[in-house]
Structure 1
Protein backbone atom coordinates (compact mmCIF):
# COMPACT_ATOMS: atom_id res chain seq x y z
CA UNK A 1 0.00 0.00 0.00
CA UNK A 2 2.85 2.41 0.83
CA UNK A 3 4.47 1.75 -2.56
CA UNK A 4 1.19 2.47 -4.38
CA UNK A 5 0.76 5.70 -2.42
CA UNK A 6 4.32 6.78 -3.28
CA UNK A 7 3.74 5.97 -6.96
CA UNK A 8 0.56 8.02 -7.06
CA UNK A 9 2.21 10.87 -5.15
CA UNK A 10 5.23 11.23 -7.43
CA UNK A 11 2.93 10.99 -10.46
CA UNK A 12 0.60 13.70 -9.16
CA UNK A 13 3.40 16.15 -8.36
CA UNK A 14 5.08 15.83 -11.78
CA UNK A 15 2.49 17.97 -13.65
CA UNK A 16 2.84 20.45 -10.79
CA UNK A 17 6.55 20.70 -11.59
CA UNK A 18 5.63 21.77 -15.12
CA UNK A 19 3.17 24.36 -13.77
CA UNK A 20 5.84 25.68 -11.38
CA UNK A 21 8.49 25.90 -14.09
CA UNK A 22 6.02 27.62 -16.42
CA UNK A 23 5.27 30.20 -13.72
CA UNK A 24 9.01 30.67 -13.20
CA UNK A 25 9.34 31.27 -16.94
CA UNK A 26 6.91 34.20 -16.71
CA UNK A 27 9.24 35.82 -14.17
CA UNK A 28 12.61 35.16 -15.86
CA UNK A 29 11.12 35.60 -19.36
CA UNK A 30 13.00 32.65 -20.82
CA UNK A 31 12.16 28.90 -20.97
CA UNK A 32 15.89 28.12 -20.97
CA UNK A 33 16.60 30.16 -17.84
CA UNK A 34 13.62 28.51 -16.16
CA UNK A 35 14.94 25.06 -17.14
CA UNK A 36 18.45 26.00 -15.96
CA UNK A 37 17.17 26.99 -12.51
CA UNK A 38 15.08 23.81 -12.23
CA UNK A 39 17.96 21.58 -13.36
CA UNK A 40 20.46 23.27 -11.03
CA UNK A 41 18.20 22.98 -7.99
CA UNK A 42 17.50 19.34 -8.89
CA UNK A 43 21.23 18.68 -9.29
CA UNK A 44 21.99 20.04 -5.80
CA UNK A 45 19.11 18.01 -4.36
CA UNK A 46 20.27 14.79 -6.02
CA UNK A 47 23.89 15.46 -5.04
CA UNK A 48 22.81 15.47 -1.39
CA UNK A 49 20.77 12.29 -1.89
CA UNK A 50 23.69 10.59 -3.66
CA UNK A 51 26.03 11.39 -0.77
CA UNK A 52 23.45 10.18 1.76
CA UNK A 53 23.24 6.89 -0.16
CA UNK A 54 26.99 6.46 0.35
CA UNK A 55 28.03 6.96 -3.26
CA UNK A 56 30.68 9.29 -4.59
CA UNK A 57 29.70 12.18 -6.84
CA UNK A 58 32.59 11.43 -9.20
CA UNK A 59 32.97 8.97 -12.07
CA UNK A 60 36.10 6.93 -12.74
CA UNK A 61 38.11 7.31 -15.94
CA UNK A 62 37.42 3.66 -16.75
CA UNK A 63 33.69 4.41 -16.88
CA UNK A 64 34.34 6.80 -19.77
CA UNK A 65 36.66 4.48 -21.67
CA UNK A 66 34.83 1.17 -21.16
CA UNK A 67 31.28 2.21 -22.08
CA UNK A 68 29.45 3.53 -25.18
CA UNK A 69 29.33 7.30 -25.71
CA UNK A 70 25.55 7.48 -25.65
CA UNK A 71 25.30 6.76 -21.91
CA UNK A 72 26.13 10.47 -21.35
CA UNK A 73 23.24 11.79 -23.46
CA UNK A 74 20.63 11.59 -20.69
CA UNK A 75 21.26 15.14 -19.51
CA UNK A 76 20.89 16.60 -23.02
CA UNK A 77 17.65 14.70 -23.61
CA UNK A 78 16.39 15.81 -20.22
CA UNK A 79 17.00 19.44 -21.19
CA UNK A 80 14.86 19.01 -24.31
CA UNK A 81 12.08 17.26 -22.39
CA UNK A 82 11.87 19.76 -19.53
CA UNK A 83 12.09 22.83 -21.77
CA UNK A 84 9.46 21.37 -24.11
CA UNK A 85 7.05 20.91 -21.21
CA UNK A 86 7.56 24.53 -20.15
CA UNK A 87 6.68 25.62 -23.70
CA UNK A 88 3.75 23.20 -23.98
CA UNK A 89 2.02 24.03 -20.71
CA UNK A 90 0.61 27.47 -21.64
CA UNK A 91 -0.32 26.17 -25.10
CA UNK A 92 -2.09 22.92 -24.13
CA UNK A 93 -2.89 23.10 -20.42
CA UNK A 94 -2.07 20.59 -17.70
CA UNK A 95 -3.95 17.52 -18.98
CA UNK A 96 -2.63 17.55 -22.55
CA UNK A 97 0.89 18.46 -21.39
CA UNK A 98 0.74 15.15 -19.51
CA UNK A 99 -0.95 12.86 -22.01
CA UNK A 100 0.88 13.88 -25.20
CA UNK A 101 4.35 13.11 -23.76
CA UNK A 102 2.94 9.93 -22.20
CA UNK A 103 1.84 8.84 -25.69
CA UNK A 104 5.36 9.47 -26.98
CA UNK A 105 6.84 7.60 -24.03
CA UNK A 106 4.67 4.57 -24.76
CA UNK A 107 5.55 4.58 -28.48
CA UNK A 108 9.28 4.90 -27.89
CA UNK A 109 9.40 2.48 -24.98
CA UNK A 110 7.77 -0.21 -27.14
CA UNK A 111 10.33 0.39 -29.89
CA UNK A 112 13.18 0.21 -27.36
CA UNK A 113 11.74 -2.96 -25.84
CA UNK A 114 11.11 -4.64 -29.19
CA UNK A 115 14.58 -3.96 -30.62
CA UNK A 116 16.59 -3.92 -27.38
CA UNK A 117 18.02 -0.46 -28.00
CA UNK A 118 20.38 1.14 -25.46
CA UNK A 119 21.32 -2.23 -23.94
CA UNK A 120 17.71 -2.85 -22.87
CA UNK A 121 16.21 -6.32 -22.49
CA UNK A 122 14.22 -7.41 -25.56
CA UNK A 123 10.44 -7.65 -25.12
CA UNK A 124 8.82 -8.44 -28.49
CA UNK A 125 5.72 -6.52 -29.59
CA UNK A 126 2.94 -9.07 -29.13
CA UNK A 127 -0.83 -9.21 -29.58
CA UNK A 128 -1.63 -7.89 -26.11
CA UNK A 129 0.54 -4.82 -26.64
CA UNK A 130 -1.09 -4.27 -30.03
CA UNK A 131 -4.54 -4.32 -28.42
CA UNK A 132 -3.27 -1.99 -25.68
CA UNK A 133 -1.91 0.42 -28.30
CA UNK A 134 -5.24 0.49 -30.16
CA UNK A 135 -7.08 1.19 -26.91
CA UNK A 136 -4.54 3.91 -26.04
CA UNK A 137 -5.11 5.62 -29.41
CA UNK A 138 -8.87 5.41 -28.88
CA UNK A 139 -8.44 7.03 -25.46
CA UNK A 140 -6.35 9.81 -27.01
CA UNK A 141 -9.07 10.49 -29.57
CA UNK A 142 -11.77 10.69 -26.90
CA UNK A 143 -9.60 12.89 -24.67
CA UNK A 144 -8.22 15.31 -27.26
CA UNK A 145 -10.24 15.30 -30.48
CA UNK A 146 -13.77 14.58 -29.25
CA UNK A 147 -14.05 17.63 -26.91
CA UNK A 148 -13.04 19.92 -29.79
CA UNK A 149 -15.62 18.33 -32.07
CA UNK A 150 -18.32 18.60 -29.43
CA UNK A 151 -17.62 22.30 -29.15
CA UNK A 152 -17.54 22.48 -32.97
CA UNK A 153 -14.27 24.43 -32.93
CA UNK A 154 -13.16 22.89 -36.18
CA UNK A 155 -16.17 24.29 -38.06
CA UNK A 156 -15.37 27.90 -37.21
CA UNK A 157 -13.25 29.60 -39.86
CA UNK A 158 -11.47 31.79 -37.32
CA UNK A 159 -10.38 28.72 -35.36
CA UNK A 160 -8.49 27.01 -38.22
CA UNK A 161 -5.18 28.66 -37.35
CA UNK A 162 -5.77 27.83 -33.70
CA UNK A 163 -6.36 24.15 -34.51
CA UNK A 164 -3.20 23.90 -36.63
CA UNK A 165 -1.11 25.52 -33.90
CA UNK A 166 -2.54 23.26 -31.21
CA UNK A 167 -1.79 20.13 -33.23
CA UNK A 168 1.75 21.34 -33.82
CA UNK A 169 2.30 21.59 -30.07
CA UNK A 170 0.63 18.22 -29.53
CA UNK A 171 3.15 16.64 -31.92
CA UNK A 172 5.95 18.42 -30.07
CA UNK A 173 4.57 16.81 -26.90
CA UNK A 174 4.69 13.35 -28.48
CA UNK A 175 8.29 13.94 -29.61
CA UNK A 176 9.20 15.15 -26.12
CA UNK A 177 7.73 11.95 -24.68
CA UNK A 178 9.75 9.81 -27.09
CA UNK A 179 12.90 11.65 -26.02
CA UNK A 180 11.94 11.15 -22.37
CA UNK A 181 11.61 7.39 -22.87
CA UNK A 182 15.02 7.36 -24.54
CA UNK A 183 16.47 9.28 -21.60
CA UNK A 184 14.96 6.79 -19.15
CA UNK A 185 16.52 3.85 -21.03
CA UNK A 186 19.92 5.56 -21.20
CA UNK A 187 19.87 6.56 -17.53
CA UNK A 188 18.79 3.04 -16.64
CA UNK A 189 21.88 1.63 -18.31
CA UNK A 190 24.04 4.32 -16.71
CA UNK A 191 22.58 3.31 -13.35
CA UNK A 192 23.69 -0.27 -14.03
CA UNK A 193 27.16 0.91 -15.00
CA UNK A 194 27.49 3.07 -11.87
CA UNK A 195 25.67 0.53 -9.68
CA UNK A 196 23.38 3.32 -8.44
CA UNK A 197 20.26 4.79 -10.00
CA UNK A 198 20.52 7.83 -7.74
CA UNK A 199 24.11 8.49 -8.83
CA UNK A 200 23.08 8.08 -12.48
CA UNK A 201 20.23 10.56 -11.98
CA UNK A 202 22.64 13.04 -10.40
CA UNK A 203 25.06 12.71 -13.35
CA UNK A 204 22.19 13.22 -15.81
CA UNK A 205 20.97 16.32 -13.97
CA UNK A 206 24.53 17.65 -13.67
CA UNK A 207 25.19 17.32 -17.40
CA UNK A 208 21.83 18.93 -18.16
CA UNK A 209 22.66 21.83 -15.81
CA UNK A 210 26.03 22.40 -17.48
CA UNK A 211 24.41 22.42 -20.94
CA UNK A 212 21.78 24.92 -19.83
CA UNK A 213 24.25 27.17 -18.01
CA UNK A 214 26.32 27.43 -21.20
CA UNK A 215 23.21 27.85 -23.39
CA UNK A 216 21.69 30.58 -21.20
CA UNK A 217 25.05 32.36 -20.92
CA UNK A 218 25.29 32.52 -24.72
CA UNK A 219 21.65 33.08 -25.66
CA UNK A 220 20.69 35.46 -22.85
CA UNK A 221 24.16 37.01 -22.58
CA UNK A 222 24.37 36.41 -18.85
CA UNK A 223 22.30 35.38 -15.88
CA UNK A 224 20.71 38.63 -14.72
CA UNK A 225 17.25 37.25 -15.49
CA UNK A 226 17.52 34.97 -12.45
CA UNK A 227 17.07 37.99 -10.19
CA UNK A 228 13.67 38.63 -11.81
CA UNK A 229 12.32 35.63 -9.87
CA UNK A 230 13.32 37.20 -6.55
CA UNK A 231 11.51 39.96 -4.72
CA UNK A 232 8.07 41.18 -3.63
CA UNK A 233 5.18 39.46 -5.36
CA UNK A 234 7.34 36.53 -6.52
CA UNK A 235 6.10 33.21 -5.14
CA UNK A 236 8.77 31.26 -3.24
CA UNK A 237 7.54 27.95 -4.64
CA UNK A 238 8.76 28.77 -8.17
CA UNK A 239 12.16 27.47 -7.01
CA UNK A 240 10.82 24.01 -6.14
CA UNK A 241 10.56 22.53 -9.65
CA UNK A 242 13.97 20.86 -9.43
CA UNK A 243 13.15 19.36 -6.02
CA UNK A 244 9.96 17.86 -7.45
CA UNK A 245 11.89 16.44 -10.41
CA UNK A 246 14.48 14.94 -8.09
CA UNK A 247 11.76 13.50 -5.85
CA UNK A 248 10.15 11.85 -8.87
CA UNK A 249 13.47 10.24 -9.78
CA UNK A 250 14.03 9.01 -6.23
CA UNK A 251 10.48 7.67 -6.08
CA UNK A 252 10.93 5.62 -9.24
CA UNK A 253 14.24 4.29 -7.88
CA UNK A 254 12.39 3.03 -4.81
CA UNK A 255 9.35 1.66 -6.67
CA UNK A 256 10.94 -0.37 -9.47
CA UNK A 257 12.48 -3.06 -7.23
CA UNK A 258 9.35 -3.16 -5.04
CA UNK A 259 6.60 -3.23 -7.70
CA UNK A 260 8.47 -4.00 -10.89
CA UNK A 261 9.00 -1.60 -13.77
CA UNK A 262 5.63 -2.10 -15.46
CA UNK A 263 3.51 -1.61 -12.34
CA UNK A 264 5.62 1.35 -11.19
CA UNK A 265 5.18 3.08 -14.57
CA UNK A 266 1.41 2.45 -14.67
CA UNK A 267 0.83 3.80 -11.15
CA UNK A 268 3.01 6.86 -11.78
CA UNK A 269 1.26 7.56 -15.11
CA UNK A 270 -2.12 7.28 -13.39
CA UNK A 271 -0.87 9.81 -10.83
CA UNK A 272 0.31 12.11 -13.63
CA UNK A 273 -3.14 12.10 -15.19
CA UNK A 274 -4.73 12.93 -11.83
CA UNK A 275 -2.20 15.70 -11.31
CA UNK A 276 -2.87 17.13 -14.76
CA UNK A 277 -6.62 17.17 -14.08
CA UNK A 278 -6.11 18.90 -10.72
CA UNK A 279 -3.85 21.58 -12.21
CA UNK A 280 -6.26 22.27 -15.07
CA UNK A 281 -9.50 22.10 -13.07
CA UNK A 282 -8.41 24.37 -10.22
CA UNK A 283 -5.77 26.49 -11.95
CA UNK A 284 -3.16 25.43 -9.41
CA UNK A 285 0.22 27.15 -9.09
CA UNK A 286 -0.65 30.06 -11.31
CA UNK A 287 -1.92 27.89 -14.17
CA UNK A 288 -4.82 28.96 -16.37
CA UNK A 289 -8.03 27.25 -15.28
CA UNK A 290 -9.25 24.80 -17.95
CA UNK A 291 -12.25 22.84 -16.63
CA UNK A 292 -12.03 19.14 -17.51
CA UNK A 293 -15.05 17.82 -19.41
CA UNK A 294 -16.64 14.38 -19.11
CA UNK A 295 -15.24 13.21 -22.45
CA UNK A 296 -11.71 13.83 -21.17
CA UNK A 297 -12.34 11.78 -18.03
CA UNK A 298 -13.68 8.89 -20.10
CA UNK A 299 -10.74 9.18 -22.49
CA UNK A 300 -8.23 9.11 -19.64
CA UNK A 301 -9.83 5.95 -18.24
CA UNK A 302 -9.61 4.31 -21.68
CA UNK A 303 -5.95 5.41 -21.92
CA UNK A 304 -5.17 3.89 -18.52
CA UNK A 305 -6.59 0.54 -19.67
CA UNK A 306 -4.40 0.70 -22.77
CA UNK A 307 -1.30 1.61 -20.75
CA UNK A 308 -1.94 -1.29 -18.36
CA UNK A 309 -2.13 -3.75 -21.26
CA UNK A 310 1.10 -2.34 -22.76
CA UNK A 311 3.17 -2.03 -19.62
CA UNK A 312 2.13 -5.10 -17.66
CA UNK A 313 2.75 -7.59 -20.48
Structure 2
Protein backbone atom coordinates (compact mmCIF):
# COMPACT_ATOMS: atom_id res chain seq x y z
CA UNK A 1 0.00 0.00 0.00
CA UNK A 2 2.89 2.35 0.82
CA UNK A 3 4.34 1.91 -2.67
CA UNK A 4 0.99 2.62 -4.29
CA UNK A 5 0.67 5.84 -2.28
CA UNK A 6 4.25 6.82 -3.19
CA UNK A 7 3.54 6.16 -6.88
CA UNK A 8 0.44 8.39 -6.75
CA UNK A 9 2.44 11.07 -4.91
CA UNK A 10 5.16 10.87 -7.58
CA UNK A 11 2.52 11.37 -10.27
CA UNK A 12 1.19 14.46 -8.46
CA UNK A 13 4.67 15.88 -7.97
CA UNK A 14 5.56 15.21 -11.62
CA UNK A 15 2.63 17.29 -12.88
CA UNK A 16 3.31 20.11 -10.39
CA UNK A 17 6.98 20.06 -11.40
CA UNK A 18 6.07 20.25 -15.10
CA UNK A 19 3.81 23.25 -14.49
CA UNK A 20 6.44 25.08 -12.43
CA UNK A 21 9.16 24.32 -15.01
CA UNK A 22 7.00 25.51 -17.90
CA UNK A 23 6.33 28.81 -16.13
CA UNK A 24 10.06 29.20 -15.50
CA UNK A 25 10.79 28.41 -19.15
CA UNK A 26 8.28 31.06 -20.29
CA UNK A 27 10.12 33.63 -18.16
CA UNK A 28 13.74 32.79 -19.02
CA UNK A 29 13.67 30.37 -21.98
CA UNK A 30 13.33 26.62 -22.48
CA UNK A 31 16.96 25.58 -22.23
CA UNK A 32 17.72 28.07 -19.46
CA UNK A 33 14.73 26.78 -17.47
CA UNK A 34 15.88 23.21 -18.00
CA UNK A 35 19.37 24.12 -16.80
CA UNK A 36 18.00 25.82 -13.68
CA UNK A 37 15.82 22.73 -13.05
CA UNK A 38 18.85 20.44 -13.07
CA UNK A 39 21.07 22.80 -11.06
CA UNK A 40 18.41 23.01 -8.33
CA UNK A 41 17.92 19.23 -8.55
CA UNK A 42 21.66 18.60 -8.15
CA UNK A 43 21.86 21.01 -5.23
CA UNK A 44 18.85 19.37 -3.59
CA UNK A 45 20.35 15.92 -4.04
CA UNK A 46 23.65 17.02 -2.48
CA UNK A 47 21.82 18.59 0.49
CA UNK A 48 19.67 15.48 0.95
CA UNK A 49 22.78 13.30 0.90
CA UNK A 50 24.36 15.51 3.57
CA UNK A 51 21.20 15.38 5.69
CA UNK A 52 20.89 11.58 5.54
CA UNK A 53 24.66 11.23 5.82
CA UNK A 54 24.96 9.30 2.59
CA UNK A 55 28.45 9.11 1.20
CA UNK A 56 29.37 9.54 -2.42
CA UNK A 57 31.57 6.60 -3.23
CA UNK A 58 31.78 6.91 -6.95
CA UNK A 59 35.39 6.41 -7.87
CA UNK A 60 36.69 6.56 -11.40
CA UNK A 61 36.94 2.77 -11.58
CA UNK A 62 33.34 2.28 -10.43
CA UNK A 63 32.21 5.01 -12.84
CA UNK A 64 33.83 3.19 -15.76
CA UNK A 65 31.91 0.02 -14.82
CA UNK A 66 28.59 1.75 -15.46
CA UNK A 67 27.24 0.66 -18.87
CA UNK A 68 27.04 3.52 -21.36
CA UNK A 69 23.30 3.13 -21.81
CA UNK A 70 22.71 3.73 -18.08
CA UNK A 71 23.95 7.29 -18.60
CA UNK A 72 21.13 7.93 -21.09
CA UNK A 73 18.73 8.44 -18.17
CA UNK A 74 20.14 11.92 -17.60
CA UNK A 75 19.96 12.78 -21.29
CA UNK A 76 16.39 11.51 -21.53
CA UNK A 77 15.47 13.45 -18.38
CA UNK A 78 16.72 16.67 -19.95
CA UNK A 79 14.71 15.90 -23.07
CA UNK A 80 11.57 15.31 -20.97
CA UNK A 81 11.93 18.57 -19.04
CA UNK A 82 12.74 20.62 -22.14
CA UNK A 83 9.91 19.04 -24.14
CA UNK A 84 7.36 19.54 -21.39
CA UNK A 85 8.50 23.16 -21.08
CA UNK A 86 7.59 23.60 -24.73
CA UNK A 87 4.37 21.55 -24.77
CA UNK A 88 2.68 22.47 -21.48
CA UNK A 89 1.98 26.13 -22.32
CA UNK A 90 0.43 25.04 -25.65
CA UNK A 91 -1.74 22.09 -24.53
CA UNK A 92 -3.97 22.00 -21.42
CA UNK A 93 -2.40 20.18 -18.47
CA UNK A 94 -4.96 17.36 -18.48
CA UNK A 95 -4.25 16.56 -22.14
CA UNK A 96 -0.51 16.77 -21.60
CA UNK A 97 -0.81 14.42 -18.64
CA UNK A 98 -2.93 11.91 -20.55
CA UNK A 99 -0.68 12.02 -23.62
CA UNK A 100 2.40 11.44 -21.46
CA UNK A 101 0.57 8.58 -19.74
CA UNK A 102 -0.35 7.03 -23.10
CA UNK A 103 3.28 7.33 -24.22
CA UNK A 104 4.44 5.68 -20.98
CA UNK A 105 1.85 2.91 -21.28
CA UNK A 106 2.73 1.97 -24.85
CA UNK A 107 6.47 2.24 -24.18
CA UNK A 108 6.02 -0.04 -21.17
CA UNK A 109 4.14 -2.52 -23.35
CA UNK A 110 7.00 -2.50 -25.88
CA UNK A 111 9.64 -2.91 -23.18
CA UNK A 112 7.70 -5.81 -21.66
CA UNK A 113 7.43 -7.39 -25.10
CA UNK A 114 11.19 -7.19 -25.73
CA UNK A 115 12.06 -8.30 -22.18
CA UNK A 116 9.58 -11.16 -21.69
CA UNK A 117 8.10 -11.65 -25.15
CA UNK A 118 4.54 -10.92 -24.03
CA UNK A 119 2.09 -8.18 -25.00
CA UNK A 120 -0.91 -7.61 -22.74
CA UNK A 121 -4.05 -7.15 -24.82
CA UNK A 122 -5.75 -5.53 -21.82
CA UNK A 123 -3.10 -2.82 -21.60
CA UNK A 124 -3.32 -2.14 -25.33
CA UNK A 125 -7.11 -1.94 -25.17
CA UNK A 126 -6.92 0.29 -22.07
CA UNK A 127 -4.43 2.62 -23.75
CA UNK A 128 -6.57 2.82 -26.88
CA UNK A 129 -9.68 3.55 -24.79
CA UNK A 130 -7.83 6.39 -23.00
CA UNK A 131 -6.66 7.74 -26.36
CA UNK A 132 -10.17 7.54 -27.82
CA UNK A 133 -11.60 9.24 -24.72
CA UNK A 134 -9.03 12.00 -25.05
CA UNK A 135 -9.89 12.53 -28.72
CA UNK A 136 -13.62 12.45 -27.97
CA UNK A 137 -13.29 14.94 -25.11
CA UNK A 138 -11.13 17.23 -27.24
CA UNK A 139 -13.76 17.27 -29.99
CA UNK A 140 -16.59 17.89 -27.50
CA UNK A 141 -14.71 20.84 -25.99
CA UNK A 142 -14.23 22.38 -29.44
CA UNK A 143 -17.97 22.23 -30.08
CA UNK A 144 -19.10 23.59 -26.68
CA UNK A 145 -19.95 27.30 -26.75
CA UNK A 146 -18.21 29.62 -24.33
CA UNK A 147 -20.99 30.30 -21.81
CA UNK A 148 -18.87 32.16 -19.30
CA UNK A 149 -16.53 34.80 -20.64
CA UNK A 150 -13.78 36.14 -18.40
Whether TM exceeds 0.5 here: the answer is yes
- Corresponding residue for 2:79? 80
**Secondary structure of the residue that 2:88 maps to in structure 1?**
helix
Match for 2:118 among 94, 112, 125?
125
Alignment gaps of 5+ in structure 1: 117-122, 154-313
Count of residues in Structure 1 that have an aligned counterpart in Structure 2:
143
Residue pair 2:102, 2:130 contacting (<8 A) in 1 also: no
Q: TM-score, normalised by structure 1?
A: 0.42
Match for 1:140 among 128, 131, 145?
131
- Higher relative contact order, structure no. (Cα contacts within 8 Å, ≥ 6 residues apart): 1
CA pair 60-14 structure 1, distance change in 2 beyond 3 A: same
Q: TM-score, normalised by structure 2?
A: 0.81
- Corresponding residue for 2:16? 16
- Corresponding residue for 1:150? 140
Give the deviation of 1:67 after TM superposition: 3.4
Give the deviation of 1:3 after TM superposition: 4.7
Give the deviation of 1:86 after TM superposition: 0.9
Give the deviation of 1:56 after TM superposition: 2.7
Alignment gaps of 5+ in structure 2: 144-150
Give the deviation of 1:151 after TM superposition: 4.7
- Corresponding residue for 1:193? none
Alignment of 1:172-191 (within 5 A): none
Residue pair 1:47, 1:57 contacting (<8 A) in 2 also: no
Q: Distance in 2 between matches of 1:152 and 1:33?
A: 34
Q: Which runs of 4+ in 1 moved over 3 A?
A: 1-7, 51-55
- Corresponding residue for 2:99? 100
